[in-house]
Amino acid sequence: MSTQEITEVRRFAAECIEAAGGVFEAANGAVAEALLPEALQPAFGGHSLIELAFDGQALESHPEAELLTVGTPALEALIAYAARHGTTTCGVIQTDRLRKKGFLETVQSEITLTGGCRLRHDERDQEARYAAYAVFHFRLSLVSDERRERVVILPVNLWSNRAAPELAEALPGLAVTTGRPWMIPDAPRAPIPDAFDTARAWLEGEVGRLQESYQARVLRRLEVDVARISDYYEGIATELRVRHEHEADDPERRRDLDAKIAAALDEKERKLRETAERYRLRTTVRLAAARLLAQPKVFGRFLIDRKQVTRELTLAYDPVLERLELPACESCCQPVHRLTVAGGKLVCPGCAG
């Protein structure tokens, strides 16, 4: 498996084991120890304390470990357990940076106002809030002549209802706890069904890219098999045709050879259809687990003036990813770097007309 796939499986295993009441402790990137709750022990031979290896190389150096990769019975058991027992857990991403110096300058460097708009901001209009993420774990299977599986983890920002794959990449290095050490308010949240629709839309594009890459490899193997089958049966038919020409004085023998030639070509077509079906790409995706994460972010209130119209805009700064979360055009709903006020709305230049 790739490094990303190992990370995704390890993260899923940790969340599943801990959600079930166990303890998970990673020794390094490819090996971990786990104290299993009673409910998960049957999946690991009845043992309570186990060592887990997340790739074959780690298993070679830890032969007593249980191999936990996509497709192994142990991971299948964890996925089945998650599917049967409530698939959500909660956590808090820890950060100490709850103020943003130079918030106005950051906004001015990231967002350009057009159409004579003017930006106003008071540093006192900043506050820390918990912004929530719904983190969805999808199990993706690509099946043709061979089977490839992976776990795709996608956080969706519930404040903006946008997919946040970059947070998934950062999660392994973040401190996540179950408590909230600061009594700060929550930012508004999009409904979970809306976030799931956002995740599915993003996943469709990701699956399309994976299918395209996988299909290219499948087609190369299909071409080799098609050529091999065609050459084999065409060779038989050619040999039979040569024999057919030599039997000019034996009509019965020629009819027998005609039947054999037709049978060879029919068998070739049947084999080609079977081969095409074997290499046909079949894709399945299902939700294996979900998690709710809260993260403190810095929210600032800004005023945008254009002539006699003033619009309020709330922006969030993410101290974990160290970036400003771009606002959305109120017409096309896309995140934008350029804004103006038109018809009383905050819109991108394209939607302003």
Per-residue confidence band for 15, with pLDDT thresholds at 50, 70 and 90:
confident
**Whether residue 6 is found in the same domain as residue 79:** yes
Instruction: Give me the pLDDT at residue 107, please.
Output: 92
**Structure confidence by residue, pLDDT tens digits, 87-137:** 557 788 888 777 777 888 999 999 999 989 999 887 778 888 999 999 998
Percent of the chain with pLDDT over 70: 96
Query: CA 13 to CA 291: how far, in whole Å?
Result: 13
317: pLDDT strictly greater than 90: yes
Percent of the chain with pLDDT over 90: 39
Per-residue confidence band for 182, with pLDDT thresholds at 50, 70 and 90:
low
**Whether residue 274 is found in the same domain as residue 236:** yes
The domain boundary residue, chosen from 283, 310, 338: 283
Per-residue confidence band for 328, with pLDDT thresholds at 50, 70 and 90:
very high
The answer to whether residue 112 sits within a structural domain is yes
**Whether residue 14 is found in the same domain as residue 64:** yes
Measure Cα distances from 220 to 13, 136, 143, 234 in Å: 35, 33, 15, 21
The answer to whether residue 203 sits within a structural domain is no
Per-residue confidence band for 180, with pLDDT thresholds at 50, 70 and 90:
low
Number of domains the chain contains: 3
Q: How many CB atoms lie within 10 A of CB 107?
A: 20
**Structure confidence by residue, pLDDT tens digits, 67-81:** 998 888 988 888 888
Query: CA 317 to CA 315: how far, in whole Å?
Result: 7
**Whether residue 82 is found in the same domain as residue 109:** no
**Whether residue 316 is found in the same domain as residue 263:** no
The domain boundary residue, chosen from 86, 111, 137: 86
Per-residue confidence band for 1, with pLDDT thresholds at 50, 70 and 90:
low
Instruction: Give me the pLDDT at residue 175, please.
Output: 84
Tell which wins on pLDDT, 13 or 21. 13
**Structure confidence by residue, pLDDT tens digits, 226-261:** 999 999 999 999 998 988 888 767 888 888 988 999
**Whether residue 228 is found in the same domain as residue 277:** yes
**Structure confidence by residue, pLDDT tens digits, 158-174:** 999 999 999 998 888 88
**Structure confidence by residue, pLDDT tens digits, 195-206:** 999 999 999 988
27: pLDDT strictly greater than 80: no
0.75 exceeded by pTM: no
Instruction: Give me the pLDDT at residue 86, please.
Output: 58
**Whether residue 28 is found in the same domain as residue 108:** no
The answer to whether residue 51 sits within a structural domain is yes
Instruction: Give me the pLDDT at residue 88, please.
Output: 57
The answer to whether residue 204 sits within a structural domain is no
Per-residue confidence band for 141, with pLDDT thresholds at 50, 70 and 90:
confident
**Whether residue 54 is found in the same domain as residue 112:** no
**Whether residue 270 is found in the same domain as residue 304:** no
The domain boundary residue, chosen from 86, 116, 149: 86
The answer to whether residue 323 sits within a structural domain is yes
The answer to whether residue 155 sits within a structural domain is no
Instruction: Give me the pLDDT at residue 70, please.
Output: 82
**Structure confidence by residue, pLDDT tens digits, 124-138:** 788 889 999 999 988
Instruction: Give me the pLDDT at residue 288, please.
Output: 79
Instruction: Give me the pLDDT at residue 196, please.
Output: 95
The answer to whether residue 157 sits within a structural domain is no
Per-residue confidence band for 152, with pLDDT thresholds at 50, 70 and 90:
confident
Name the residue range of residue 107's domain: 103-128+299-352
**Whether residue 266 is found in the same domain as residue 309:** no
Query: CA 264 to CA 257: how far, in whole Å?
Result: 10
The answer to whether residue 193 sits within a structural domain is no
Amino acid at 19: A
6: pLDDT strictly greater than 80: yes
Instruction: Give me the pLDDT at residue 269, please.
Output: 93
Q: Which of 100, 88, 13 is nearest to 52 (CA)?
A: 13
**Structure confidence by residue, pLDDT tens digits, 260-273:** 999 999 999 999 99
